[in-house]
Structure 1
Amino acid sequence: MNHAPNQPESTFPEDTASDVQLNIVLSWTCDDPDPDDPIHYDVLLGTALDDLHTIVQTSDSRLEVTLNANTRYYWQILAHDSHEGEQISPVWSFTTLNRSPEISETVFPANNQENTNLDIYLSWECFDPDPADSLLYDIYFGTTAQPAVVRVDLTQTSYDPGLLMPNTKYYWKIHAKDSHDAIDVSPVFQFTTLNRSPNEASSPNPEHDAIRILLKTHLSWTGGDLDINDSVVYDIYFGKTQSELALLSSGQSMTEFYPENLQTNTSYYWQIISRDNHASETKGPIWKFKTIAPGFLSFESKQIDVFENQGSITIHVIRNNGNEGEIAVDFETIQDTAMPLIDYTPASGTLIFADGEQIKSFVVNIKDDYRFETNETLNLLLKNPTDQASLGFLNQAVLTIMNDPSDIKAGDIDGNNDVNLSDAILILKILSEFSVENPRQHADTNGDDRLDFYEVLYIFKLLMQ
């Protein structure tokens, strides 16, 4: 009589075991009351009670299998001998473990990277050995060595932190978790952002190629730095030729400069070099401007003549070597041998030249005393030019008041165009009778409106010379 095998018993994994590895050896025990009967086994395996199926037939009571992660398996052993005796085991179960995701250290930016751009995406690689698992990521990011969480449950392997601060060290790490809450935590990575160079100087004043610039102008420009926490200083180079610019100011923080001793009608070149507190420099373009040509102010002539009977004379002031801009100059008459209010009326004032105007005038009034006398002079003076104008070489002139040719010499009593003894005798003859009031002006030699003994003395004095 044949006896069926005994019921198989599980030895590994234990029934209802959990966290079972994915590569295991199923094992069981079974014997036969008939010692000489060989036993064969059908191994049934499935992921549901109603889905058990034979995966192998074997005479060994051990079977190596590869399983899926985080899966509940059901299995059973059907033992049968060579005489068709059979015995089936109960259905056992176990659950495989869930494998954690694995974050690679291949990240961007690379750990300890320097000069990182400010507009980057953080990116990383993560592998889950369980292909069916979905992954979520928590992002930790900041400027401290223990960065705070900034995003949770991100599904993609990249993150936009926004525009970063320049010249700053950042720290970040990733928490990866799968659909079964298995977690992997990356190390803390770090990188440093780049320092951006200062802005190139722009918006120059005076504008590039500007002309007619005043001598008391100031240079200004727009500078700064995109890195708002950076401080910026400026070096100013200046000169009359583009190839020979000299350093006028170094390391100044202001965006303006006042050049000194500019010359009229001259081209100047200038350049700004900007430097931040990280020693990064930016050279600006070379700009050019030309100063105004207001001109030189002079009298038309150094010697000016006028007859006293002309009544007045117009004095011309000439603007030479440039006529740009509105300028002004003061003028005045200065006493010399001619007496103010007797020989001329003093004159003073300001002449204003409009832009482009080259000549202005003023008038000196002359007084005629109808008396013969020697030439008399007064001085003319230009002073106080304004708005970059300069005085020319002829900024002083001499105005000569010449005697009226029709005047009779004082003392010429008889009217023969000469003063001699006959004039003295004539006066004595007149005085022998009486003194004469309101005489002819040419006979009143001392100007007291009388003809008396003083006129005789005057004539004798002339005769003795």
Structure 2
Amino acid sequence: MNKILKLIPVLAVAAVFTASCSSSDDGGGAGVAPTVPNTAPTAVSNLVYPSSDLLCIDSNITFEWAAATDVDNDVLEYTIRVATDRDQTNIIAQQTTTNTSITIQLGSGTAYYWNVTASDGEDNAAASSTLAFYTEGNGVSNYAPFTAALNAPAADALVDAGTTTLDWTGSDVDVADTLTYDLYFGTTSSPAISQSDLTVSTIDVTTVAGTTYYWRVDTKDNNGVKSIGQEWSFTTN
């Protein structure tokens, strides 16, 4: 009997020790720090050169931009794309560098559109805005205006039905030129012309709910030179 009584405290201590070990083992994983997702770099906020709507007298262009930032301190790469259209479907030059400048030889007498995408090597990237510039051509006395730049509604946006304001920006390196616009607007791709020879760059249109609208703006100067705009779309609630 005495042997049994002496054994009971020993078993109790062993049980407490075992429970204590089990508790420690169960919580061991809680001390492991969770994986922190990598953060995308900021977009390049300033395209330094060529600046917006610049007429470049030399077609050997040294592009310059401000550095992006990255909270993870990753080494950033910059991919510059130069195209002959504002939506960059016809890219004629594309290069990647860790610097914030690069020289590219382009053709003369041509309108170009460029932007820069910053990436951190972790599949995270951020693109800058797109700027337009011209390279000077021999004997050119008048340049075509740049294609219109979209302000609102944003591309493929979802907006409230009723009155929708279409807003764009036109520009020309020939600063003395007067620009007018032809507006194409409708519910099918490649819409018909809605208004011509507009002297303003914003206009209200009437829209109905649950409909996708397509629109385009062609820009003309007072010498009769026209630039065909790209097609945009938006959908109403």
Normalising by structure 1, we get a TM-score of 0.23
Larger proportion of helix: 2
The answer to which structure, 1 or 2, has the higher relative contact order (CA under 8 A, 6+ apart) is 2
Computing the radius of gyration over CA atoms, which structure comes out larger, 1 or 2?
A: 1
